[in-house]
Each structure stands twice: as C-alpha cells, then as structure tokens.
Copies of this chain bind each other. A is one copy, B any other.
Amino acid sequence: MDQLRAMRYFSKVAETGSFTKAASIFAVPPSSLSRRVADLEKHLGATLLIRSTRVVKLTEVGQIYYSQLEDILNQIEQSSETVRSYQAKPMGQLRISSMVGFGERILMPLLGEFSGLYPEIILDVSLSDELSTLGRDDVDIAIRGGYAPNERVLAIRLMDNEFIPVAAPKYLAEMGTPKNVMELRHHKGLYFRTPSGPSPWLCNIDGQWHDVSGTIVAVSNNGRWLAEKAVAGQGIMMAARWAVTSYIESGELEELLFDRVLHITQNTDLAVYLLYQKQRYLVPKVKAAVDFLVARVQGKH
C-alpha cells in the first residue's frame, strides 16, 4: 500500500466530506479513494470515516488522526519545497499575514522595495488581527503582537509596541488636559476591540493595577478609524507609538504625559514579532523576506 497516497486521499475526503469531490481533485475515480481509504483503515485497524451514500463524516479516531495528518502532510510538502528550492533564487509565492495596523503603516510601504529586490517573488499579503495558525497550509510569515504558539515557530522581536495616550489639541482645549491618570476617568475614550472587551487604560501605582478608562465613545478593531476620530477631537486614545508618530509630528495629535506610565495590558513589554517556522528559513524566499523585514524594521524603529 502506498501509505502516503492513502493518507492524502483520506485527508482530502475528510476535508471535503465526500469521496466524489476528493476524487475529482486528484483526478482519479472515487473507487480508488474508497479502496485506498479502506486499505488505510485496515492498516490502522480502525474505522476513520462513517460513510453513508450522502454524507461522509469522521469518527472520533478519524478526527484525531486527521488533525495529525494535516500537520504531517504539510511538513512533507514543506521539506520537499526546502530541498527543491535549495540554493535557488528567492522565487515563488510568499504569503505574509500581518496585523492590520502594522501592515498598513509599516509593512506595505516596505514591500515595494522588496518586490524590486526579488522580482520573482509573488507576494500574497493578508491583513488581519485574527491569530493565524502558521503551520497549517496558510502562511509563510506572520506578524503579530503575541509570542510564538509552539516550538517549531521562531519569533523575532521586530520592534516595541508601546502604547501611548494621545488626543487632538482641539479636544484638550475643549475638555481640558488631564493633569494625572485619575482624571482620565472623566474623559472620553476611543478603544480597540479585543476578544476580552475594549482594551482598558491601565496604570500601575505602587504595585497595584488600576483601571483608569474613561467613558467609551467608540470601540473598533480598526486603528486607523479610531485615530481619525481622535484627530477629529472625539476623545483620547491609547495607540501604538509607531501608528501615530506621523500624527504627532504633524501636530494633529498630542501625546499625553503623566507621572505614571499608561498601559493597555498588564504586560508592560509589548512588542511586534515576526513569526515563521524555523525550518522554513532554509527556503530562499522566506529567508529573503525575514532578513529584509528584520533589517528594515529594526533599523528604523
């Protein structure tokens, strides 16, 4: 039995939920898949799929096996790519997933130059603040605020992700500039949406954390929109420093300074990380992008 082939067949049947659909993808008759999957089940001594003529679904073991297979098949594919592209020019499709804010303000502006350096790399950039899995079949490089999900993934600290309170001069003129952090509670606030609610304004006083959030005026997962509202004088916002430097320099926003430092999480050392799978650094396109991004971003910020 060609075990790997059987595994690929099974995996696709599980994914599509149909022998026919999976068969058409492999361009072989469904009967082949049926036999190969049966072989595999015999080999493992377990029923992986519950078949009825209309629906095919995974058994419990099938589910377990499938989730492990996905990982395995991916690794096989990737190691093949590593070998095939070894010592070749950086080329092919490169998928980058980035946080929206970072992507818009920092990543995108750099990619023009990158494409100039490596014209044979086809970029596929997606911006999202969702966590990407990095290791399934989706992304070569991810840029996120959090740290590495598992030991196969390497995380490089790209730059600080310090959050600072900002507001428009117009807002401060109207509402008054808060003199200390406690006064913030009486101000209007613009907040990022996080899975655990609007990200609060936190302040550590003598080892004790205090929530000094002001009244909620707007909540969004879109930093640009929040920043625009801040510029329009609708409230105070905790924004990443790198995201608002241009506004500060132009005078549209103003950094608020207090005796205490404000944060948005109890982790006081936030940073932006570049994540990739360790072994994929050997693939030229990945190495090129990692090296490029690290050099450019760490150099500037």
Contacts and interface: CB of A to CB of B under 8 A. Distances in A.
A76 B72 contact: yes
B135 A86 contact: no
A55 interface: yes
A132 interface: no
A86 B2 contact: no
A46 B3 CA distance: 23
Interface string A80-96: 10111011000011000
Interface stretch (A158-166, A278-286, A290-298): A278-286
Contacts of A282: 64
A279 B3 contact: no
Nearest to A279: B47
A44 interface: yes
Interface residues of A, number: 43
A4 interface: yes
A72 B68 contact: no
A221 interface: no
Nearest to A86: B61
Nearest to A76: B72
A65 B83 CA distance: 7
Contact of A280 (B47, B84, B92, B93): B47
Contacts of A55: 136
A78 B72 CA distance: 11
Interface in A21-70: 41, 43-48, 50, 52, 55, 59-61, 64-65, 68-69
A92 B46 contact: no
A41 B82 contact: no
Contacts of A64: 82-83, 86, 282
Nearest to A92: B60
B75 A280 contact: no
A130 interface: no
B65 A75 contact: no
A61 B45 contact: no
Nearest to A4: B4
18 contacts: A2-B4, A2-B5, A3-B4, A3-B5, A3-B76, A44-B87, A45-B84, A52-B136, A55-B136, A60-B86, A60-B93, A61-B86, A64-B83, A65-B79, A65-B82, A65-B83, A68-B279, A75-B75
